[in-house]
Structure 1
Amino acid sequence: MVAAAARMELLPPVLFLFLLLAAAPATAAKFTCNSTAPRANTCQALISYTPSNATTTLAAVRALFQLRSHRGLLAANGLPPSTPPPAPAPSPVRVRLPCLCSGGVGATFQRPTYKVRAGDTLDAVARGVFAGLVTFQEIAAANNVSDPNRVAVGQELWIPVPCSCDPVAGQGVVHYTYVVPQGSSVAGIAQEFGTTEETILSVNKMADAKSLLAGQVLDVPLRACGSNISNTAIDRNLLVSNGTYILTANNCVMCGCSSNTWQLDCQPTQGLSTSACPVSKCGDMFLGNTSSTSTCEATKCSYAGYTNTTSFTILANLTTTNTCNAAGMAPTAQPEHSSAFRVEGWRWTDLVVSLHVVLLCLGYLRQD
Structure 2
Amino acid sequence: MTAAMAPPQLVSVLVALLCVAAASPAGVGAARFVCNATAPRASTCQALVAYAPPNATTLAAVRALFQLRSHRALLASNGLPLSTPPSSPAPSPLRVRLPCLCSGGAGATFQRPTYRIRAGDTLDAIARGVFAGLVTYQDIAAANNVSDPNKIAVGQELWIPVPCSCDPVAGQPVVHYTYVVPPGASVAAIAQDFATTEATVLALNRMPDAKSLLAGQVLDVPLRACSSAISSTAIDRNLLVPNGSYILTANNCIMCGCSSYTWQLDCQPTQGISSSFCPASKCGDMFLGNTTTSPTSSCESTACSYAGYTNSTSFTILANLTTSSTCNAAAMSPMAQQAHSSAFRLASTWLRWTELIVCLHVIFLCVSFLNHV
> What TM-score do you get using the length of structure 1 for normalisation?
0.81
The equivalent residue for 1:104 is 105
Which residues in structure 2 correspond to 1:202-351 (within 5 Å)? 202-294=203-295, 295-325=298-328
CA distance in 1: counterparts of 2:215 and 2:272, whole angstroms:
43
CA distance in 2: counterparts of 1:180 and 1:291, whole angstroms:
44
Q: For each residue in 1:40-88, what CA deviation from the matched residue of structure 2 results, as whole angstroms up to 9, or x when unmatched?
A: 111000000000112x100000000000000000000000010000001
Q: Secondary structure at the match of 2:185?
A: coil
- Say whether 1:152 aligns with 2:134: no
Q: Letter of the aligned partner of 2:136 in structure 1?
A: T
CA distance in 1: counterparts of 2:253 and 2:243, whole angstroms:
20
Q: For each residue in 1:177-204, what CA deviation from the matched residue of structure 2 results, as whole angstroms up to 9, or x when unmatched?
A: 0000001110010001100000000011
CA distance in 1: counterparts of 2:304 and 2:249, whole angstroms:
17
The equivalent residue for 2:358 is none
Q: CA contact under 8 A between 1:75 and 1:244: conserved in structure 2?
A: yes
The equivalent residue for 2:3 is none
CA distance in 2: counterparts of 1:71 and 1:226, whole angstroms:
23
Q: CA contact under 8 A between 1:27 and 1:215: conserved in structure 2?
A: no
The equivalent residue for 2:202 is 201
Q: Letter of the aligned partner of 1:248 in structure 2?
A: T
The equivalent residue for 2:45 is 43
The partner residue of 2:36 within 34, 37, 47 is: 34
The change in CA–CA distance for 1:42 and 1:217 in structure 2 (over 3 A counts) is same
CA distance in 1: counterparts of 2:281 and 2:48, whole angstroms:
29
CA distance in 1: counterparts of 2:325 and 2:154, whole angstroms:
61
CA distance in 1: counterparts of 2:242 and 2:209, whole angstroms:
27
How far does residue 323 in structure 1 lie from its aligned partner after superposition?
1.9
- Say whether 1:185 aligns with 2:157: no
Which residues in structure 2 correspond to 1:60-71 (within 5 Å)? 60-71=61-72
User: Which segments of 5 or more consecutive residues in structure 1 lack a partner in the other structure?
Assistant: 1-23, 332-368
Q: Letter of the aligned partner of 2:306 in structure 1?
A: Y
The equivalent residue for 2:93 is 92
Cα RMSD after superposing both structures: 1.3
CA distance in 2: counterparts of 1:25 and 1:305, whole angstroms:
46
Q: How many residues align?
A: 303
How far does residue 325 in structure 1 lie from its aligned partner after superposition?
4.2
After superposing on structure 2, the runs of 4+ consecutive aligned residues of structure 1 that deviate more than 3 Å are none
The change in CA–CA distance for 1:325 and 1:100 in structure 2 (over 3 A counts) is closer
CA distance in 2: counterparts of 1:262 and 1:234, whole angstroms:
22
The change in CA–CA distance for 1:325 and 1:141 in structure 2 (over 3 A counts) is closer
CA distance in 1: counterparts of 2:196 and 2:299, whole angstroms:
30
Bigger relative contact order (CA 8 A; separation at least 6): 2
CA distance in 1: counterparts of 2:115 and 2:27, whole angstroms:
19
Q: CA contact under 8 A between 1:25 and 1:127: conserved in structure 2?
A: no
CA distance in 2: counterparts of 1:320 and 1:38, whole angstroms:
31
- Say whether 1:117 aligns with 2:110: no
How far does residue 29 in structure 1 lie from its aligned partner after superposition?
0.3
The change in CA–CA distance for 1:247 and 1:25 in structure 2 (over 3 A counts) is farther
How far does residue 38 in structure 1 lie from its aligned partner after superposition?
2.3
Q: For each residue in 1:319-364, what CA deviation from the matched residue of structure 2 results, as whole angstroms up to 9, or x when unmatched?
A: 11112249xxxx8xxxxxxxxxxxxxxxxxxxxxxxxxxxxxxxxx
CA distance in 1: counterparts of 2:48 and 2:169, whole angstroms:
16
Q: CA contact under 8 A between 1:25 and 1:135: conserved in structure 2?
A: no
Q: Secondary structure at the match of 1:31?
A: coil
CA distance in 2: counterparts of 1:324 and 1:223, whole angstroms:
21
CA distance in 2: counterparts of 1:83 and 1:29, whole angstroms:
33
CA distance in 1: counterparts of 2:287 and 2:64, whole angstroms:
37
CA distance in 1: counterparts of 2:41 and 2:266, whole angstroms:
23
How far does residue 123 in structure 1 lie from its aligned partner after superposition?
0.3
> What TM-score do you get using the length of structure 2 for normalisation?
0.80
User: Which segments of 5 or more consecutive residues in structure 2 lack a partner in the other structure?
Assistant: 1-25, 331-373
Q: Secondary structure at the match of 1:98?
A: strand
The change in CA–CA distance for 1:325 and 1:203 in structure 2 (over 3 A counts) is closer
Q: For each residue in 1:78-130, what CA deviation from the matched residue of structure 2 results, as whole angstroms up to 9, or x when unmatched?
A: 00010000001110000000000011100000000000000000000000000
Q: Letter of the aligned partner of 2:49 in structure 1?
A: I
Q: Letter of the aligned partner of 2:58 in structure 1?
A: T
How far does residue 275 in structure 1 lie from its aligned partner after superposition?
2.0
CA distance in 2: counterparts of 1:247 and 1:325, whole angstroms:
29
Q: Secondary structure at the match of 1:32?
A: coil
Q: CA contact under 8 A between 1:178 and 1:219: conserved in structure 2?
A: yes
Q: Letter of the aligned partner of 2:318 in structure 1?
A: L
The equivalent residue for 1:355 is none
The change in CA–CA distance for 1:325 and 1:147 in structure 2 (over 3 A counts) is closer
Q: Letter of the aligned partner of 1:284 in structure 2?
A: D
Percent pairwise identity: 81
The equivalent residue for 2:367 is none
Q: For each residue in 1:121-145, what CA deviation from the matched residue of structure 2 results, as whole angstroms up to 9, or x when unmatched?
A: 0000000000000000010000011
The equivalent residue for 1:74 is 75
